[in-house]
Amino acid sequence: MRAKPEDYEVLDERTQNILIAVVRNFIQTADPVGSQTISKRFDFGLSPATIRNVMADLEELGFLEQPHTSAGRIPTDKAYRHYVDHIESVELPSPEDAEIIARWYTPLAGDNDGMMAATSRLLSEVSNYAGVVLSTFATSIFKRIEFVKVRDRQVLAIFVMDSANVHNKLITLEDELTQDELHKISNYLNHEFSGQPLRQIRQKVLDRMNEEKAQYDELVQQAMNIGAKTFDETSESEGDIYLGGTVNIMDQPEFITNVSRMKELFKAFEEKSRLIRILDHCLDESGINVVIGTETPFQDIQDCSFVTRTYTYGDRTVGVLGVVGPKRMVYPRIMALVDYTANIVSQKLTNG
């Protein structure tokens, strides 16, 4: 749950400064934070006793919690949310990070599938967490399709989208068709639907299938049947997901000391369906989006945060990319990295 605006209002400047200091210190060290540490590291001009009292107040407000084994305190999801929401603007990445990103994309011109896989690895390498890219399918503009007969009633559908991404799908037909018949069907579908969004095509195919079949000749009926199998909801909802560097998360202190949490997280990453659902929601957000811990609906991922941003082809959103890491991440740096990378990917897709 996100902190409510009225919770922010109760924090005077001194209290907010101490909260942010605790968050920053914990992000850096992964150790519970005590008042002595804050007093020594930050020049607030306050005694440890005063800082201790403020931290106790923050605990009552739900911003801090105290592990049983330590006298120090750690931030809650509410504290991270407050911290992230008070980052005034997304900065440019450091010159070092920007140089790595520029070098990474130089050899990838024209290879969009390779670029998405490379982007997940890049985000992982630069952030030291996991990089993730979801290339959406439903919003893509259909360009053309070809069918290749594999055996008997099995056909490989090869369709190209306007962003030059090529997708393959193996479908099983109700009746066996010759390669020549498949060629005629692909010509018909290309003529009817080229230049339209995939989601819109799917609805049109379903609508035509529900109309009186007698008004269509056999070729159109076959085309609609094959089109329904090719452009079904599975193609829409999954898209292509690229995930790199999950081992980086497993090396973080909060996971390396807790084998059961590590196993749960690794399983969630292996299945990928949870990641896809989270990233699908991020597609509707503009600018940098940060999802923290319990803001995700999946318990086995609630020790992580997602920093994401959509990328575009022209003026149309075609995917989302980002970094997945522990809640204890350096948010300003990761936000800058994700924002900068999304801009470059958008430029590469649009300009080639």
Q: What is the pLDDT of residue 79?
A: 97
251 and 118 in a single domain? The answer is: yes
Q: Are residues 125 and 143 in the same domain?
A: no
Q: Are residues 154 and 266 in the same domain?
A: no
CA distance 91 to 332: 7
Q: What is the tally of structural domains in the chain?
A: 3
* Residue 133: strand, helix, or coil: strand
Does 321 lie in the same domain as 254? yes
Q: What is the DSSP letter of 2?
A: P
| Residues in Cβ contact with 133 at an 8 Å cutoff, skipping those fewer than 6 apart | 116, 117, 119, 120, 123, 241, 242, 319, 320, 321
User: Which residue segment(s) compose the domain that 243 sits in?
Assistant: 95-136+239-351
The answer to the question of residue 53 being in a domain is yes
In the block, tokens 């605006």 appear at: 5
Where does 272-330 have alpha helices with state H? 273-282
Residue that finishes a domain, picked among 64, 85, 106: 85
* Closest to 321 measured CA to CA, from 242, 236, 246, 267: 242
Q: What per-residue confidence (pLDDT) applies to 63? A: 96
Predicted confidence (pLDDT) per residue in 26-63, tens digit: 999 999 999 999 999 998 999 999 999 999 999 999 99
Beta bridge partners of residue 148, listed in sequence order: 156
Say what the pLDDT of residue 3 is.
Answer: 44
Q: What CATH number has the domain bearing residue 102?
A: 3.30.450.40
Q: CA 190, CA 173: separation in Å to the nearest integer?
A: 19
Residue that finishes a domain, picked among 179, 214, 231: 231
Q: Are residues 315 and 175 in the same domain?
A: no
The answer to the question of residue 3 being in a domain is no
Look up the CATH number of the domain holding residue 151: 3.30.390.60
Q: Which residues contact 158 (CB under 8 A, 6 or more apart)?
A: 145, 146, 147, 148, 166, 167, 168
pLDDT computed for residue 236 by the predictor: 44
Residue 102 lies in a domain: yes
Q: Are strands 130-135 and 289-292 parallel, antiparallel or unpaired?
A: unpaired
CB 265 within 8 A of CB 293: no
197 shares a domain with 110: no
Instruction: Report how far residue 245's alpha carbon sits from residue 229's, in angstroms, rounded to the nearest whole number.
Output: 34
User: Do 62 and 43 sit in the same domain of this protein?
Assistant: yes
The confidence score (pLDDT) of residue 1 equals: 39
| Residue ranges of the chain whose pLDDT lies below 70 | 1-10, 69-70, 106-113, 137-139, 163-164, 211-216, 233-239, 352
Looking at the fold, whether 120 and 269 belong to one and the same domain comes out as yes
DSSP code at position 312: E
In a domain, 324, yes or no: yes
SS3 90: coil
Q: Are residues 131 and 147 in the same domain?
A: no
Considering the domain architecture, whether residues 185 and 208 belong to the same structural domain is answered as yes
- Select from 231, 259, 283 the last residue of a domain: 231
Looking at the fold, whether 213 and 329 belong to one and the same domain comes out as no
Does some domain include residue 110? Answer: yes
286 found inside a domain: yes
**pLDDT of the residue at 212:** 53
CB 193 within 8 A of CB 204: yes
pLDDT at 333: 95
* In a domain? residue 204: yes
Do 107 and 195 fall into the same domain? no
- At position 232, the amino acid (one-letter code) is D
Kindly state whether residue 72 falls inside one of the protein's structural domains: yes
Total residue length of the chain: 352
